[in-house]
Amino acid sequence: MKKANGTGPYPTSDQAGRGSEAAPSPEPRIQRVLLVGFMGSGKTSVGSALANRLAWAFRDFDEEISFRAGLPIKEIFHQRGEGYFRDLEKLVGEELLLEEQVVLGSGGGWPVAEGRMQNLPPRTLSVWLKVSPGEAVRRAGREGETRPLLAGPDPEKLASDLLEQRVSFYSLAHVSLDTEGAEPERLAEQIEELMKATGRA
Contacts with ligand S3P, residue ranges (CB under 6 A): 39, 43, 62, 73, 107-109, 147-149
CB of 166 to ligand S3P, least distance (A): 8
Closest CB to ligand S3P among residues 10, 170: 170
CB of 27 to ligand S3P, least distance (A): 28
Please give the backbone phi and psi of residue 74, each rounded to the nearest 5 degrees, phi first: -55, -40
Please give the backbone phi and psi of residue 131, each rounded to the nearest 5 degrees, phi first: -150, 150
Q: Give the integer Cα–Cα distance in Å for 163 and 129.
A: 12
CB of 197 to ligand S3P, least distance (A): 27
CB atoms within 10 A of CB 7: 10
CB of 20 to ligand S3P, least distance (A): 35
Diameter over CA atoms, the chain: 54
Q: Give the integer Cα–Cα distance in Å for 29 and 136.
A: 32
Closest CB to ligand S3P among residues 62, 192: 62
Q: Give the integer Cα–Cα distance in Å for 50 and 125.
A: 13
Closest CB to ligand S3P among residues 62, 135: 62
CB of 118 to ligand S3P, least distance (A): 19
Q: How many CA atoms lie within 13 A of 114 on its CB side?
A: 0
